[in-house]
Structure 1
């Protein structure tokens, strides 16, 4: 899935590109790690690579002037069970963008296209986005882009608590 790359290049705006995990080159993975280690302390490439290989894919933000990766967000699709019913979720992994590209909308557009594409293929399947928020800015992604999310600052959508707890127990029980 690629947005209007040519249009973004003409405007000299970063654009997004989605790639499945198995299609990532070693060079791309090392570039991702280079960005990652700028913003996180005490990291090791081996841990980053192992975590990345568990993901379904990655959204890249590409700078059109030099075709360089300037940000990325990993994603993992998983099923989980709530009240005896299978559910489908997108789990957002690491998201890191070079500081000079903060505020750019390429990643938002990429995620939107990704979810819409899934819904076209599976129109009757409810889908959930699982996001671990480490701070206020990440939490604002939910508050500014979704009507229904949990936890909600106004204590709404309590019915989603079971979804969050079920997903976390299934995939993060050791924590």
Structure 2
């Protein structure tokens, strides 16, 4: 498999349709016009291909928010999906990490602005990072909470709940289809998954937990730099 990141304006209509079809296979309540509007609101899209077929993608938007008079820069991840045939493969995230960690090293401090409507996305954080928020092991520091509130409020001014740290949508929202990321008793034994359910109890309705991590290799777990950047 090969991951390639391109600017949004470089995508053809045919490719955008293929991206939508992949999302529609795994998400309910999809709307092609809303998808297209959200897609064009982003700056980049990372596509994962296998034998000439798109099997995964994730969109990104560069953002700057003001926190206590300081500009804080980050990259916001939008629609993200990988075909079930490739669940467990790390190539999509490896390509994502290689691009944005390098970007941060070239352009200065950069945060990952992330929203999670399912445990699979949330688990990327404890799997790869030693330090991320929110997490089950500690309270979110006040300065970090301010960054989270700033970018979430900029993106979802009418639906972000600063108290819960969750985007609580007022209208019908796309959500994962049954069987895509179900949480049963076995999965609830995982403390990170249990924490995700605790802080985002209505995730099944499409609500998003707002999360934050820094693109800093020193904050990754011990063997992750070798896994992510080997052969870079």
Measured against the shorter chain, the TM-score band is: 0.7 to 0.9
Q: Deviations over 1:119-156 (max 9, x none)?
A: 2421xx21110111112222111111122211111124
The equivalent of 1:163 in structure 2 is: 147
Q: Does 1:31 align with 2:18?
A: yes
Q: Does 1:147 align with 2:130?
A: yes
Paired residue secondary structure (1:174): coil
Paired residue secondary structure (2:116): coil
Paired with 1:60 and 1:44, the residues of 2 have a C-alpha distance of 20
In the alignment, which of 10, 28, 37 is matched to residue 41 of structure 1?
A: 28
Displacement of 1:87: 0.8
Query: Any unmatched runs of 5+ in structure 1?
Result: 1-13
Matched residues, number:
158
In the alignment, which of 135, 139, 143 is matched to residue 118 of structure 2?
A: 135
Paired residue secondary structure (2:123): helix
Paired with 1:75 and 1:167, the residues of 2 have a C-alpha distance of 14
Paired with 1:120 and 1:152, the residues of 2 have a C-alpha distance of 25
Range that drifts further, 87-96 or 109-118: 109-118
In the alignment, which of 12, 15, 26 is matched to residue 2 of structure 2?
A: 15
Paired with 1:145 and 1:53, the residues of 2 have a C-alpha distance of 29
- Which segments of structure 1 move beyond 6 Å, counting only runs of 4 or more? none
Query: Any unmatched runs of 5+ in structure 2?
Result: 160-232
Paired with 1:42 and 1:48, the residues of 2 have a C-alpha distance of 11
Paired with 2:48 and 2:39, the residues of 1 have a C-alpha distance of 17
Aligned Cα root-mean-square deviation (Å): 1.3
The equivalent of 2:98 in structure 1 is: 113
Displacement of 1:44: 1.8
Displacement of 1:169: 1.7
Paired residue secondary structure (2:61): strand
Q: Does 1:52 align with 2:39?
A: yes
Say which structure, 1 or 2, has more relative contact order (CA 8 Å, 6+ apart): 2
TM-score (norm 1): 0.85
Displacement of 1:167: 1.1
